[in-house]
Amino acid sequence: MFRKLLTFDEAKKAIDDQFKPVFLGEEEAVLLEAYNRVLNEDVVSGLDIPPFNRSTVDGYAVKAEDTFGAEENQPATLEVSGAVNVGEQPNVKVAKGEAVEIVTGAPIPEGADAVVMVEDTEREDAELKVFGAVTVNENVMKKGSDIKKGAVVLKKGQVLGSSEIGVLAALGLTKVKVLKIPMVAVLSTGAEVTEPGKELPSGKIYDINAYSISTAVIESGGKPVYFGVVPDDKAALSRALQTAVASADMVITSGGVSVGPRDYTPQIVDSLGKPGIVVYGIAVKPGKPTTVGFVGDKPVFSLPGHPTSALLIFYLLARPLIQRLAGRPATGMKMVRAFAGSRMFSAKGRRTFVMVKLEFDKDCRLIAEPVETGASGAITTLANADGFVEIAENEQFVDADEEVLVVLFRGSAARA
């Protein structure tokens, strides 16, 4: 088994080298449920838009040549032979010397090739005076000029927002082919944890990670499969991991690593299939005992038991894989610039991530104040940390008042 501690960058590379964003299949979604999904087809227009020559103003449909030479002092005089409203097929034609009343959006009647704006006319009964000339096609939106039948309107891989859903509706579609959402199995291990909702035995604490990581999976564009707490014995863990790998596209466990002889997960992952474990420990703080393996194409992450560390490593390493499986760009998390509220120390030779709380000081400067991590304060940290500051391996500390980039835990939905 591969046991060298990797640097953060080496670990990322080892994961990237092994990871294939395999095609998870497609499904059909009705339009309202297609919101924020990833399109899995090029959408080709089945119709011309507009489907007919359309007036872009309120006025009169005419033959343009009947208006040539008309001006303020020398109007052309035409005879109004009918009217066309929106939404109806015109039952009138425009002959030489005639005009047909028309509103914005209504189809141009046969025989007409332009529309005179109502502001440029004066009408008395059927007699229409036109005080300005129009050219052929003036105030007419030609059939197919917006979208031609057969044109590719949306491309495979686009994320469907309000505008794109609107475009699909314009084509008359109510269903669309979208990529399947990656299923991510989430389970916790460790003798000390019990599932929330159950009675808490003496000496145990409630498991946090299966829930917090499941919601982080949703946030990243995946669908969590909640396995809860798996008993801390090798046979049970092996069965659970086998089921997880078989039923999901990716697996995330937490806890149970770095506990010496009880460190079952990596052994089981190695036994389930090639290539097995590719990252066995990372020179980061926190999150050092992280292991990452692959069973065939399926990534299996084993995160630390400490809730904040588990969530941090999830965001840094697992989230981009979920996004790529979902067919989305692996967008970074939101960041803000702030000033260090006090000196932040790094762990020697390890990439360090310092949890911080953001607050404005009296001068309205955004201050990043470190929050306590470590074994104590686990839940308080989780509740209070707004994000983290990264310190490189070769830096000793970030000094108070230095400008820092804070990566935000909240507001980083892939589904935004």
Q: What is the DSSP string of 54-65?
A: EESSSEEEE-GG
Is 263 one of the binding residues for a copy of itself (CB under 8 A)? no
Output the six-digit token pair for 173.
């579609």
Is 209 one of the binding residues for a copy of itself (CB under 8 A)? yes
Q: Choose, by CB under 8 A, the member of 73, 74, 89, 394 that binds a copy of itself.
A: 89
Size of the site for a copy of itself (CB under 8 A): 95
Q: Choose, by CB under 8 A, the member of 161, 275, 332, 349 that binds a copy of itself.
A: 161
Is 208 one of the binding residues for a copy of itself (CB under 8 A)? yes
Identity (one letter) of the amino acid at 307? P
Q: How far is CA 174 from CA 25, 27, 31, 55, 170, in A?
A: 20, 14, 5, 27, 10
Q: Choose, by CB under 8 A, the member of 11, 130, 168, 295 that binds a copy of itself.
A: 168
Segments of 173-263 assigned E as strands: 175-179, 183-188, 193-194, 205-206, 223-229, 250-254
Q: Which is nearer to a copy of itself, 169 or 246 (CB)?
A: 169
| Contacts of a copy of itself in 9-28 (CB under 8 A) | none
Contact 239, 231 (CB under 8 A): no
Fill in the DSSP letter of residue 143: T
Output the six-digit token pair for 311.
């969530």
Rg over CA atoms, the chain? 32
Is 207 one of the binding residues for a copy of itself (CB under 8 A)? yes
Q: Choose, by CB under 8 A, the member of 25, 87, 274, 362 that binds a copy of itself.
A: 87
Q: Choose, by CB under 8 A, the member of 5, 118, 147, 347 that binds a copy of itself.
A: 147
| Contacts of a copy of itself in 273-302 (CB under 8 A) | none
Compute the least distance from the CB of residue 411 to a copy of itself, in Å.
Answer: 5
Compute the least distance from the CB of residue 215 to a copy of itself, in Å.
Answer: 4
Contact 301, 26 (CB under 8 A): no
| Contacts of a copy of itself in 362-391 (CB under 8 A) | 374-380, 382-383, 385
Q: How far is CA 400 from CA 157, 253, 351, in A?
A: 44, 36, 19
Contact 67, 117 (CB under 8 A): no
Q: Choose, by CB under 8 A, the member of 44, 200, 236, 246 that binds a copy of itself.
A: 200
Output the six-digit token pair for 55.
């007036």
In the numeric block, the tokens 């141009």 are attached to 108
Q: Nearest-CA neighbor of 251 among 230, 232, 233, 231? A: 230
Q: Which is nearer to a copy of itself, 156 or 204 (CB)?
A: 204
Is 394 one of the binding residues for a copy of itself (CB under 8 A)? no
Q: Which is nearer to a copy of itself, 79 or 192 (CB)?
A: 192
Q: Nearest-CA neighbor of 112 among 123, 96, 126, 133? A: 96
Is 202 one of the binding residues for a copy of itself (CB under 8 A)? yes
Q: What is the dihedral of CA 259, 262, 268, 271, to 10 degrees?
A: 100
Compute the least distance from the CB of residue 96 to a copy of itself, in Å.
Answer: 24
Compute the least distance from the CB of residue 320 to a copy of itself, in Å.
Answer: 16
Is 105 one of the binding residues for a copy of itself (CB under 8 A)? yes
Is 53 one of the binding residues for a copy of itself (CB under 8 A)? no
Contact 222, 325 (CB under 8 A): yes
Compute the least distance from the CB of residue 161 to a copy of itself, in Å.
Answer: 5
Is 412 one of the binding residues for a copy of itself (CB under 8 A)? yes
Is 307 one of the binding residues for a copy of itself (CB under 8 A)? yes
